[in-house]
């Protein structure tokens, strides 16, 4: 259940960590005011640390965005591969073409359901075994056609497209399992805490307090939520569009109405 709120949890943790670091730094400075403290040195350290924090935030956000783009591209690539296989099924005889398209439609529906499933749902409903069975059936139909057909060049195109379907499935699975390493996120939290702690220490040396730390904690929390959401689409506010796969499913179900304009349900 908590998997659907990774971004929100990360934002809350960052918010609390930043505020706690600011308070700890402030009270540490207040307790040290009776001692000789080189305030200029702490100001120099603060000046150097904030750009480092900004650079790490930008790097982490860019990494998360690139992974989001990779997942979106993988969905489009898989949709294109399935669509190509459906088009090339026309080289088969009537019986094989009907069997191949039925298997391909079932396979596409399973892939659409599996990619779109959220952690709140039961991913066990989308069996990998059923997916592999449909793959084997499509391959068997294509191989049988290749050995009995007098147009092997055309059948080879179908086999190539079927290979493309399997490769696209493997690519989508690989990019879906790729996330920002936990060590990077831990370093981000640690540097944020240290940087804000030094800033809080400097404020304590000056003898005042500022609401600016509350605003900084809020900003860092929102940025962290955006990073985690982009890194884990389908589990937070961010979603990878499944429209390409949905369009392919509709086009196989009804070639005369490939994008479901007459269905009245729209794209979900």
Residue-wise pLDDT tens digits, 22-51? 999 988 888 876 566 677 787 888 889 999
**pLDDT at residue 219 tops 90:** yes
Q: What is the pLDDT of residue 60?
A: 94
Contacts 24+ apart (CB under 8 A), 228-231: 228/6, 228/7, 228/10, 228/11, 228/64, 228/185, 229/6, 229/7, 230/61, 230/64, 230/65, 230/67, 230/68, 231/63, 231/64, 231/67, 231/68, 231/179, 231/180
**pLDDT at residue 15 tops 50:** yes
Q: What is the pLDDT of residue 218?
A: 93
**pLDDT at residue 151 tops 60:** yes
> To 10 degrees, what angle do helices 39-88 and 182-206 make?
150
Q: What is the pLDDT of residue 267?
A: 40
Q: What is the pLDDT of residue 268?
A: 36
pLDDT band (50, 70, 90) for residue 7: confident
Distance, in Å, from the CA atom of 104 to the CA atom of 86, rounded to the nearest integer, reads: 7
In tens, the pLDDT along 230-260 reads 988 777 778 888 889 899 998 888 766 655 5
Q: What is the pLDDT of residue 99?
A: 92
pLDDT band (50, 70, 90) for residue 197: very high
Distance, in Å, from the CA atom of 4 to the CA atom of 71, rounded to the nearest integer, reads: 18
pTM > 0.85: no
Q: What is the pLDDT of residue 3?
A: 54
- Are 151 and 91 in contact, with CB atoms under 8 Å apart? yes
Distance from the Cα of residue 100 to its chain's centroid: 32
In tens, the pLDDT along 67-91 reads 899 999 999 999 999 999 998 888 8
Provide the mean pLDDT of the chain: 83
In tens, the pLDDT along 102-126 reads 999 999 999 888 887 654 444 444 5
Mean pLDDT of 5-32: 88
Q: What is the pLDDT of residue 188?
A: 94
Mean pLDDT of 61-65: 93
Q: What is the pLDDT of residue 118?
A: 55
% of the chain beyond a pLDDT of 90: 37
Name the percent of the chain in helix, strand, coil, to the closest 5.
Answer: 80, 0, 20
The backbone torsions φ and ψ at residue 99, rounded to the nearest 5 degrees and listed phi first, read -65, -45
pLDDT band (50, 70, 90) for residue 264: very low
Mean pLDDT of 1-23: 83
């Amino acid at each position: 259940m908590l998997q659907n709120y990774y971004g929100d949890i990360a934002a809350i943790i960052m918010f609390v960590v930043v505020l706690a670091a600011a308070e700890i730094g402030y009270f540490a400075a207040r307790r040290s005011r009776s001692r000789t403290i080189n305030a200029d040195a702490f100001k120099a350290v603060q000046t150097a640390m904030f750009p480092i924090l900004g650079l790490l935030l930008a790097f982490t956000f860019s990494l998360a965005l690139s992974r989001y783009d990779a997942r979106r591209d993988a969905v489009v690539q898989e949709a294109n591969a399935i669509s190509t296989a459906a088009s090339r099924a026309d080289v088969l005889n009537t019986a094989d073409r009907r069997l191949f398209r039925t298997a391909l439609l079932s396979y596409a529906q399973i892939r659409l359901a599996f990619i779109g499933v959220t952690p709140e749902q039961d991913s066990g409903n989308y069996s990998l075994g059923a997916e592999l069975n449909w793959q084997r059936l499509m391959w068997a139909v294509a191989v049988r056609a290749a050995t009995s057909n007098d147009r092997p060049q055309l059948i080879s195109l179908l086999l190539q497209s079927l290979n493309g379907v399997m490769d696209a499935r493997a690519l989508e699975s690989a990019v879906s399992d790729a996330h920002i390493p936990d060590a990077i996120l831990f370093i981000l939290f640690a540097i944020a805490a240290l940087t804000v702690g030094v800033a809080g220490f400097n404020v304590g040396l000056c003898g005042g307090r500022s609401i600016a730390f509350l605003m900084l904690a809020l900003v860092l929390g929102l940025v962290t939520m955006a990073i985690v959401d982009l890194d884990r689409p389908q589990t937070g506010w961010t979603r990878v569009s499944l429209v390409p796969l949905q369009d392919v499913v509709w086009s196989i179900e009804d070639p005369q109405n490939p994008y479901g304009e007459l269905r009245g349900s729209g794209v979900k």
